[in-house]
Amino acid sequence: MNSLQLTALPDFPLVGPGDDLAALTLAALEQAGIRLRPGDVLVYASKVVSKAEGRARKLSEVKPSAVALEIAKTCDKDPRLVELILAEANEVVRIRQGLLVVEHRLGFICANAGIDHSNTAEDEDLVLLLPEDPDGSARRLHQELSAASTAEIAVILNDSHGRAWRMGTVGVAIGVAGLLSVSDRRGAPDLFGHLLQITELGTADELAAAASLLQGGADEGAPVVHVRGATYVPGEGHLQDMLRPRELDMFR
Amino acid sequence: MNSLQLTALPDFPLVGPGDDLAALTLAALEQAGIRLRPGDVLVYASKVVSKAEGRARKLSEVKPSAVALEIAKTCDKDPRLVELILAEANEVVRIRQGLLVVEHRLGFICANAGIDHSNTAEDEDLVLLLPEDPDGSARRLHQELSAASTAEIAVILNDSHGRAWRMGTVGVAIGVAGLLSVSDRRGAPDLFGHLLQITELGTADELAAAASLLQGGADEGAPVVHVRGATYVPGEGHLQDMLRPRELDMFR
């Protein structure tokens, strides 16, 4: 039977700077009675990776530039937060009351450069940047998990993004390892031997969205989701493959 | 344990105009040994609903207008297909070589008004329009399935859409019944008592994406996916709730 099983690893501990996420994952898998099998995927909320990598910043230590002060006025945000957003951005895409949409330095378009205020700690002063290099983080986790298991698996870092024309955030992949992030189906025959006209499947993004259903928008103690039964193409994927090249961008 | 289980109903028969999808679903559920429980979700590939509702059209019977001929030249598509796309669209959003992006009459922005050429039948002449009223289709399925079971369930129609800035298509919801399509989390306290800043979760879209992982971009004999374990808000949802109001659209 064609089925997919997602499990939020239970009782995952609160994570702090320097924590060994791979070791915590292996312990949590064991506790959950899950033995990694070939084709399994582990989806990490980017937030938990950021915490482990020490990406928290204190707003009180940020000195906003003149540009940040100006933009902060327009979008009605904390100028220190805007300063951090600009430092994480290639360019500002849209500014509106309550909203600052940028191209993140990693290439994707998102609100606030993915900087998160809630759920960091009991400290109002702390915000959390996205991981420095999500593909690299995924690759390290993939390596460390693979070293402890003979199973070929995949790792995805997900984050919650808004969309241009749809309401509500959905999980998307911002880092991958062990799978091609986009599955090329062009030319594959369909049920009736027609060539499939659909171009490519956003497999990593769909896995990120599926896992996000168990993470509830915050990590809420369920930052790592184990997925079994997914069809994907093993290989060396990259965030870059999921991003529409600038020359094909019709909507910026 | 917080977990999610998705099952593509096996051996779902090929569907034709007038077929009773609810009855076919109940038979397939029984064959799969799945008894509906409260909170279960059934996700239908919109294609199978279109087929049941007789939404196939013959290109050979379409007479393209002057406008369709003109647009077809620019985007290099069959003028008869373009005629059908325009008839299903409120407005053309972008035209490029090989690409025609429109606002569908249902309000969402997508390529080719969601009209699908592949996998309809062994007839090159046939294309498939989206269901006339996907919320209505979902509601009918919901009613008929609910009549046969005491369990409170939800129904989603999904379709594969491209995104403005990301590569690959992902499943999105184009019709819902029995759940709020967007879950408002604003103001909910997070782990540390902060107020969650994330605005709203695109729950129906995430469920649509998750189910799409088992449908593989085409229906491939797996047009109906049963989901167990999802957290959602029961209620009367609407496609409209998932669409960004025109006045908040910054990217058209």
Residue given tokens 């960004």 in the structure block: B244
Q: What is the CATH number of the domain that holds B116?
A: 3.90.1660.10
- Which among B2, B122, B185 has CB closest to A222? B2
The answer on A202 and A140 residing in a single domain is yes
pLDDT in tens, A58-68: 999 999 999 99
- Which among A166, A220, A222 has CB closest to B242? A166
Beta bridge partners, A92, equal A102
Q: Would you say residue B26 has pLDDT above 50?
A: yes
Q: Is B188 or A112 the better-scoring residue by pLDDT?
A: A112
Q: What is the pLDDT of residue A122?
A: 57
> A-chain residues within 8 Å CB-CB of B193?
122
Number of domains in chain A: 2
Tell me the C-alpha distance between A202 and A182, whole Å: 5
Residue B125 backbone dihedrals phi, psi, to 5 degrees: -80, -15
Q: Determine, for residues B192 and A119 on separate chains, whether the beta-carbon distance falls below 8 Å.
A: yes
CB A115 within 8 A of CB A83: no
Counted residue by residue, chain B has a size of 252
Q: What is the pLDDT of residue B220?
A: 55
Q: What is the pLDDT of residue A187?
A: 56
CB A68 within 8 A of CB A82: yes
Q: What is the CATH number of the domain that holds B214?
A: 3.30.1330.100
> A-chain residues within 8 Å CB-CB of B85?
none
> A-chain residues within 8 Å CB-CB of B183?
168
Tell me the C-alpha distance between A115 and A119, whole Å: 12
Nearest to A141 by CA among A55, A48, A22: A22
The answer on A158 and A187 residing in a single domain is yes
Q: Would you say residue A211 has pLDDT above 80?
A: yes
- Which among B200, B214, B249 has CB closest to A168? B200
Tell me the C-alpha distance between B138 and B125, whole Å: 28
pLDDT in tens, B122-152: 577 999 999 999 999 999 999 999 999 889 9
Q: What is the pLDDT of residue A186?
A: 62
Q: Determine, for residues B216 and A201 on separate chains, whether the beta-carbon distance falls below 8 Å.
A: yes
Q: Determine, for residues B203 and A168 on separate chains, whether the beta-carbon distance falls below 8 Å.
A: yes
Q: Name the pLDDT band for A195 (thresholds 50, 70, 90).
A: very low
Task: Give the range among A114-118, A218-222, B95-99, B205-209 with minimum mean pLDDT.
Answer: A218-222
Sequential DSSP letters for A11-72: TPPP--TT--HHHHHHHHHHHTT----TT-EEEEEHHHHHHHTT-EEEGGG----HHHHHHH
The answer on B140 and B28 residing in a single domain is yes
> A-chain residues within 8 Å CB-CB of B8?
1-3
Q: Would you say residue B197 has pLDDT above 60?
A: no
Q: Which domain holds residue B143?
A: 5-55+130-240
Task: Report the residue of chain A nearest B205, measured CA to CA.
Answer: A170
Tell me whether residue A248 is in a domain: no
Return the SS3 of A205.
helix
Q: How far is A44 from chain B (nearest CA, A)?
A: 15
Q: What is the pLDDT of residue A131?
A: 98
The answer on A230 and A117 residing in a single domain is no
Size of interface A-B (CB pairs under 8 A): 262
Q: Determine, for residues A251 and B249 on separate chains, whether the beta-carbon distance falls below 8 Å.
A: no
Q: Is B94 or B217 the better-scoring residue by pLDDT?
A: B94
Task: Report the residue of chain B nearest A252, measured CA to CA.
Answer: B251
CB B46 within 8 A of CB B134: yes
The mean of the pLDDT values for chain B is 91
Average pLDDT over every residue of B67-80: 96
Q: B226-238: string of b/e by CB count within 10 Å (b at 16+)?
A: bbbbbebeeeebb
The answer on A113 and A197 residing in a single domain is no
Q: What is the pLDDT of residue B69?
A: 98
The answer on A110 and A11 residing in a single domain is no
Tell me whether residue A251 is in a domain: no
Q: What is the pLDDT of residue B216?
A: 73
| Interface with chain B: mutation pick from A163, A196, A241, highest number of B CBs within 10 Å | A163
Q: Determine, for residues A210 and B108 on separate chains, whether the beta-carbon distance falls below 8 Å.
A: no
The answer on A230 and A145 residing in a single domain is yes
Q: Determine, for residues A249 and B108 on separate chains, whether the beta-carbon distance falls below 8 Å.
A: no
Tell me whether residue B104 is in a domain: yes
Tell me whether residue A211 is in a domain: yes
Q: What is the pLDDT of residue B194?
A: 47
The answer on B66 and B51 residing in a single domain is no
Tell me whether residue A196 is in a domain: yes
The answer on A147 and A79 residing in a single domain is no
| Interface with chain A: mutation pick from B184, B213, B227, highest number of A CBs within 10 Å | B213
- Which among B122, B191, B217 has CB closest to A196? B217
Q: Determine, for residues B216 and A194 on separate chains, whether the beta-carbon distance falls below 8 Å.
A: no
| Interface with chain B: mutation pick from A1, A2, A176, highest number of B CBs within 10 Å | A2
The answer on A190 and A66 residing in a single domain is no
Return the SS3 of A246.
helix
Tell me whether residue A247 is in a domain: no
Q: What is the pLDDT of residue A197?
A: 52
Q: Would you say residue A77 has pLDDT above 60?
A: yes
Q: What is the pLDDT of residue A219?
A: 45
Q: What is the CA radius of gyration of chain A?
A: 19
Q: Would you say residue B121 has pLDDT above 60?
A: no
Q: How far is B231 from chain A (nearest CA, A)?
A: 7
The answer on B198 and B82 residing in a single domain is no
Average pLDDT over every residue of A187-197: 50
Q: Would you say residue B52 has pLDDT above 50?
A: yes
B92, amino acid identity: V
Q: What is the pLDDT of residue B21?
A: 98
Tell me whether residue A205 is in a domain: yes
The answer on A198 and A171 residing in a single domain is yes
Tell me whether residue A249 is in a domain: no
Task: Report the residue of chain B nearest A221, measured CA to CA.
Answer: B191
Q: Determine, for residues B163 and A164 on separate chains, whether the beta-carbon distance falls below 8 Å.
A: yes
Task: Report the residue of chain B nearest A200, measured CA to CA.
Answer: B168
